[in-house]
Amino acid sequence: MAAASKTDRALATAGLFHAYGESWVLQEIELQLEPGSTLAVIGANGAGKSTLLRILGGLLRPTAGRVEVMGAELPRQAHLIRARVGFLGHRPLIYRDLTVVENLGFGARLFGLAGAGRERIAELLELVSLDHRRDTRAGELSAGMLQRLAICRAVLHRPELLLLDEPLAHLDPDAASTVAPLIGPAAGRSRVLVTHDISAALADADQVLALSRDGQVAYRGPAAELDERAARAVYAERAGGIRAGAST
């Protein structure tokens, strides 16, 4: 397959399954997301949301099925999209023994930002109000500050696709507002957003994927066609609860 182009779909999966040992955590996941759109992934703890995000980021090989991100087949061609994807996982990609600026400087070198990286780092730290902590070891930061640093790391290289796992965790309303220009829908990037915040998911997303407790699709379709009461039902139901939603 040729290198991915900017005109490809943001992502697509077909017949996607994943198991840990003998336990299935994702079953028959079919997705398509157009560039510039947001997919919200909701479901109870253990429904496979974070596993799906790791597969889309090329960090985990699915047990079965096809995964394509910006024209690259994953995980075989993950190297083609590394510089085009920003990943914010449940566990931030932050080195606690390095300072704030050292963490971002390391990321800048990984993405080949060179001299421009210093300007970008300064810009991001000011935006999220961490410039006064630039020389603080990451391990000494509060949980909220650490989350803001992780968000800076995820958007450092101006990725086209953001994969976000509970990005507002540990953030108070003021801190959440500071990161919104970087990771919110107004940023204009394609996004996959794993969240337990049903109201925000329905308000900010174009599409919703609701996973049942056994990792099957309970709903897949436009956010506008799923009301909050039905969305919350997926947290209590196993497969089949609201499966009748429109397909993406």
- The answer, yes or no, to whether residue 119 has pLDDT greater than 60, is yes
> How far are the Cα atoms of 176, 179, 180 from residue 145, in angstroms, in the given order?
11, 11, 15
What confidence score (pLDDT) does residue 5 get? 44
Residues shown for the chain: 248
- pTM, 2 dp: 0.90
Summarised one tens digit per residue, pLDDT across range 49-99 is 999 999 999 999 999 999 999 999 999 999 999 999 999 998 888 999 999
Summarised one tens digit per residue, pLDDT across range 14-31 is 999 999 998 999 999 999
What confidence score (pLDDT) does residue 8 get? 64
What confidence score (pLDDT) does residue 129 get? 96
Confidence of residue 238 (pLDDT cuts 50, 70, 90): low
What confidence score (pLDDT) does residue 120 get? 95
- The answer, yes or no, to whether residue 233 has pLDDT greater than 70, is yes
Which residue in this structure is represented by tokens 């790391």? Answer: 153
How far is residue 108's CA from residue 177's CA, in Å, rounded to a whole number?
Answer: 25
Percent of the chain with pLDDT strictly greater than 90 = 74
How far is residue 100's CA from residue 153's CA, in Å, rounded to a whole number?
Answer: 10
CA contacts within 13 A on the Cβ side of 185:
12
How far is residue 182's CA from residue 123's CA, in Å, rounded to a whole number?
Answer: 11
How far is residue 56's CA from residue 68's CA, in Å, rounded to a whole number?
Answer: 8
Summarised one tens digit per residue, pLDDT across range 144-154 is 999 999 999 99
What confidence score (pLDDT) does residue 237 get? 65
Tell me the mean pLDDT in the region 189-209.
Answer: 92
Strand order in the sheet with 72-74: 23-33, 11-20, 64-69, 72-74
Out of 3.30.30.60, 3.30.450.40, 1.20.1250.20, 3.40.50.300, the CATH code matching 11-94+160-233 is 3.40.50.300
How far is residue 210's CA from residue 91's CA, in Å, rounded to a whole number?
Answer: 22
